[in-house]
Amino acid sequence: MSTLSTRSGAPVSRLTFGTMQFGGKADASASQAMFDAACAAGINHFDTAVGYTGGASEILLGGMIKANRDDLYVATKVGYQGGASQANIARHFDTCRRQLNEDAVDLLYMHRYDPDTGLQETFSTLAELQSTGAIRHIGVSNYAAWQVMKAQEVARSLGTKIDAIQPMYNLVKRQAEVEIFPMAQDQDIAIIPYSPLGGGLLTGKYASGETGRLTDDERYKARYGLDWMHNAAAGLKSLADDMNMDPATLAVAWVAAHPARPLPIISARSTAQLAPSLAAEGFEMTPDLYAQITALSPTPAPATDRLEEA
């Protein structure tokens, strides 16, 4: 269960809004409309990164948060390009602050693990930013569980800790269940997963012949190109149709309903596209429905691989 909270002390919302499309596929007007819709639905947690849409994501978000800054939780990420050295973190974070027009953020993630930079250098830099009030919480994205634990030991030696992790997680990408989720629960690390809709696969649109990242982007084709994944998406759509619901609502609600209590990141290009994901904010997942959805995809073996004893 997350212990993250806004500056005013409110707990972060059940859903997180990802602003990766701001200034890209969503222009300024569409971005503002989605921000307003997210706030109206009770979302107070917003996620961006220094390089999203060439910096436009942070610039647009920075203008939107000003009126209610203390009631919003703002996360950004650095180090996707250039590594996790002190110099690169400082350079990226200075850019974040300039683009957001903010002196401080609530959560700063290392965007990915850097095997070429010592963890002492990386986390000393983050600890220093935290001690000066430039960041409130420390996060990591796309780290394996063993990488988190190595980093956590360093962070503890510096008098701090890792507060959040951002892994990929959805109905057809469940590897995080094996070690990342148990590790995060043990270490009191908030889980804030991205891609709850599987690049749009779990919306059902590809089964209807529509196009998007899974047809246009080679990385997404490779990531979600297996037949069983498409079969799981078809099963989810069938279940949603029987309930007179949108499959995207079920996909997001399923992620949020995991016993580890993740805070899934939702995103979209327009308010119309966002609406089904937003509907998951108030959706109560029953144990029976959760089990039905879970059964649509293979449950990964436990870390010990002794599945017969699980």
Structure tokens that stand for 103 in this block: 């002196």
Contact 189, 165 (CB under 8 A): yes
Q: Distance between CA 132 and CA 259 in Å, rounded?
A: 35
CA 162/CA 3 separation, integer angstroms: 12
User: Coil, strand or helix: which one is 126?
Assistant: helix
Residue whose C-alpha is closest to residue 256's, from 27, 82, 12, 28: 12
Are 106 and 6 a contacting pair, CB within 8 Å?
A: yes
Q: Which of 52, 109, 194, 220 is catalytic?
A: 52
CB within 8 Å of 107: residues ≥ 6 apart? 4, 73, 74, 75, 76, 135, 136, 137, 138, 139, 163, 164
Show the tokens assigned to 108.
Answer: 């700063």
Strand partners, 16: 265
Cα distances (Å, whole numbers) of residue 93 to 51, 119, 240, 260: 11, 18, 42, 30
Residue 296 is encoded by which pair of tokens?
A: 């649509």
User: Taking the C-alpha atoms of 160, 161, 164 and 165 in order, what is their torsion angle to the nearest 10 degrees?
Assistant: 130
Active site residue 220: no
Q: Which residues are catalytic?
A: 52
